Chain A
């Protein structure tokens, strides 16, 4: 059984235009999946179905085998945590600590447990020392990390992160990437919505390309960046290093390269081979 299953999901916000037009996919435990595609294509609408914030107009979504239509969103929050694109849509407390402890406190956990989870989540996102700061005094990048922490304290099985790298500097990007790796290592499933293809290459093993309410492609990250025509039609540019690899395939550079390190290794082995 998949952790999340979408079966022929159609969705309309206004009963006129369909934002999702028959989307089907399954997400298994421990996967890291990137939802990519231009704005207005349906990425966020789809992800909001995973934790029951939205319910399908037609079709169904199952979380651990149970249809989301039969579950209240507050129940689903224990399984699937959703981090909004805009931190202002999520943050409502006047202190970092209160923002992070709200979820577990509200869930009725013991105060020791609430405290432990809060401290742990704040530390993991690198906000230690900011516990008493007003969230709106944090810069945008740190606000986004705070919204991740406030979901981490609920300890969900699935994290949906909507554009976690927007407004981050490079350090912040790496911090979010590292966080995703660590969450995934500890068994969590991560779904990330992003426009940052270098970030996709670093964190996701699988990519789902969504446009005009439909899934255009659903495949391993290593393969999708080779579909240059499809990407061009969806106005998506592969990471710079992958584009370089694509231009050098006639010299035996693998086209599946995703990171600078992979590229350096590949070139070193080619250059050494010829020296012998």
Chain B
């Protein structure tokens, strides 16, 4: 699915909020169309700021000083308005209630809200609402109040409001941080479905096991800089580096780093998911038992 078309290019990007020191330093990365990229790192590292830089809220809404460039769907974020950018890239916040308009009393009205602000004709809105609610699995709940939904449903509604505009790229800033395990699973599943449909997805997350399962690549941010980036397995295998930053890799990966001597496997080949670890250790223990 992932081709060579570039969806996002961030080049030598440095940013500081007004009257503050830089919260992003010399950031460089590319995202290809239909990739799912995870951004991990401690709170305060710059993850949220980076997310807001991808849809133009930075610099247009927040101001501040900038060096370098951010290009999203062939648009330089400096030269295009948030309204123009929002047609191509949608941002989902940590708190679904921050995303809601606060004026809609029904789920379908909430999905329509963004489009009506953008002046979409009524007849075009209906099929888009249906499509967006279907994509996040909320069909049938059109008449409910957004505030009567569970946490996971609210976050999926927030995603639907973004989808209705039919963007190519969806950026999510810790979308599961406030959710219970059922809600987290719902949102990760939705993310995976959308990625399967070809959406490019960038997600800032602390849920490392979910990232191990879903992300094609991972960027690690610490103290305003990208400390490491690459294919998910490669990054999550850098156990010592991650632990130094206060990031816990998946438990099974950490275990392999500790048992490196006994296992005789190299960093870069450690399992990052439970099933891989089960087959590795079953094999090792079976051979030792002989």
Contact = CB atoms under 8 A, between A and B. Distances in A.
Interface of A: 38-39, 139-141, 166-174, 195, 198, 235-237, 239-241, 243-244, 247-248, 251, 253, 260-261, 263-264, 267-268, 270-271, 274-275
B43 A141 contact: yes
Nearest to B185: A235
B289 A274 contact: yes
Contacts of B284: 271
Contacts of B286: 251
Nearest to A265: B258
A263 B255 contact: yes
A235 B42 CA distance: 28
Contacts of A172: 43
A125 B117 CA distance: 45
B219 to A, nearest CB: 15
A243 B274 contact: yes
A244 B252 contact: yes
Contact of B282 (A38, A139, A168, A247): A247
Nearest to A141: B43
B285 interface: yes
Q: Give chain A's interface secondary structure class.
A: helix
7 contacts: A167-B177, A170-B42, A195-B181, A244-B274, A248-B281, A263-B251, A270-B288
Contact of B262 (A139, A236, A244, A268): A268
A168 B281 CA distance: 32
B282 A251 contact: yes
Nearest to A243: B274
Nearest to A242: B251
Contacts of B252: 240-241, 244
Nearest to A167: B177
Contacts of A274: 288-289
A170 B206 contact: yes
Given A166-B177, A167-B177, A248 B255 contact: no
A232 to B, nearest CB: 13
Contacts of B208: 170
Interface string B260-281: 0010000000000010011001
Most buried by A among B41, B42, B259, B288: B288
B251 A240 contact: yes
B278 A247 contact: yes
B43 A169 contact: yes
A250 to B, nearest CB: 9
A240 B285 contact: no
Interface string B197-214: 000000000101100000
Contacts of A275: 288
B196 interface: no
A260 B250 CA distance: 10
Given A38-B182, A166-B178, A264-B258, A139 B44 contact: yes
Nearest to B177: A167
B259 A268 contact: yes
Nearest to B273: A240
A243 to B, nearest CB: 6
